[in-house]
Structure 1
């Protein structure tokens, strides 16, 4: 639906611009069309929140802790992550390589801020799944964040929610934590990743 709306606006803009190219005169716009154009421009303009995301760019060394059962000690694996801004500094792309349960692991996420909803958002997919996690949340000025993400559980085939938090212990160290339902349905810690940015 959103893609259809954006496509409609783009087509309408091109149709309006067509006569302008032919006649070198700007097309007449109704107040409603002008308001729509301004709303889309405002929605698509990077702001302070996108600058905060840009401050996270760099290459990181990771310590990945995974809990496979409540109360059991976590497994610990090293990894690396690279973060860079794309789409005209509107979205941050994160690429991760590590290991999971003794197997090579790679993942890719997008992180952004939606000017329309006023929320931060993220997507995640990796080499252990063909699905996609989509999350939304809030962050403060120091990028201490809380997200809720949803993906489809491979066993039950049903949507499953996870809670994720991030916090910076110093300007180059971030701690990510992920919580989800345990065997008894109660929330349990599933993962912790410490990011250390390289100089």
Structure 2
């Protein structure tokens, strides 16, 4: 009986959604689609270096780029997950990041500059003290097999960390 009630609620809530045509990936999603694949990564921070892997895959009808990062930080396994898309209503790229070091989310939005092949996103996420802090993520894609990523926290001019992604061949 509970399953039947749940199905009725889901149908009632989704009926208006079906009246609209479903969202379809646009040309902005092609920027994200280029990142699909398996990548080796090298992260640099505080004079240290960590190596790991990232897998990116377009999911949910090609609307979202799902990322799975695996590395080791400070002698422990570190995992991170990302979801990125293009929100046509906002005319902005949007993203969410979660990882194994925090129960808080980082939510970002921004723009892509085709001339410089740079995706710049800003938003809020946990700072080193756990309190909400402004972040800026900059991804420069000089070619189809390289992403140079820098994460800035607060108003700093120097990145908190950098990551170079190289596509696995």
TM range (shorter): 0.7 to 0.9
Residue in structure 2 matched with residue 10 of structure 1 by the alignment: 14
Residue in structure 2 matched with residue 64 of structure 1 by the alignment: 43
When normalised by structure 1's length, the TM-score is: 0.72
**How many residues of Structure 1 are paired with residues of Structure 2 in the alignment?**
158
Distance 2:134 2:92 in 1: 18
Match of 1:133 among 100, 106, 114: 106
Residue in structure 2 matched with residue 45 of structure 1 by the alignment: 24
Distance 1:127 1:100 in 2: 11
Q: What's the offset of the Cα at 1:187?
A: 4.5
Residue in structure 2 matched with residue 17 of structure 1 by the alignment: none
Distance 2:39 2:93 in 1: 22
Q: Which runs of 5+ in 1 are unaligned?
A: 1-6, 15-36, 68-73
SS at match of 1:45: coil
Residue in structure 1 matched with residue 162 of structure 2 by the alignment: 192
- Aligned-residue CA RMSD in angstroms? 2.2
> After the TM superposition, which residues 1-199 of structure 1 pair with which residues of structure 2 at under 5 Å, given as runs?
10-12=14-16, 40-41=20-21, 44-67=23-46, 74-141=47-114, 143-153=117-127, 155=129, 158-181=131-154, 186-199=156-169
Please list the CA deviations of residues 40-60 of structure 1 after superposition, one character each: whole Å capped at 9, or x if unmatched.
Answer: 537x12110112211210000
Once structures 1 and 2 are overlaid, which stretch shifts more, 185-194 or 55-64? 185-194
Q: What's the offset of the Cα at 1:186?
A: 4.3
When normalised by structure 2's length, the TM-score is: 0.83
Q: Max radius of gyration: which structure?
A: 1
Please list the CA deviations of residues 130-154 of structure 1 after superposition, one character each: whole Å capped at 9, or x if unmatched.
Answer: 1110000000236411110211346
Please list the CA deviations of residues 142-194 of structure 1 after superposition, one character each: whole Å capped at 9, or x if unmatched.
Answer: 64111102113463x5421111101112220110001113xxx7444211000
Q: Which runs of 5+ in 2 are unaligned?
A: 1-10
Residue in structure 1 matched with residue 8 of structure 2 by the alignment: none
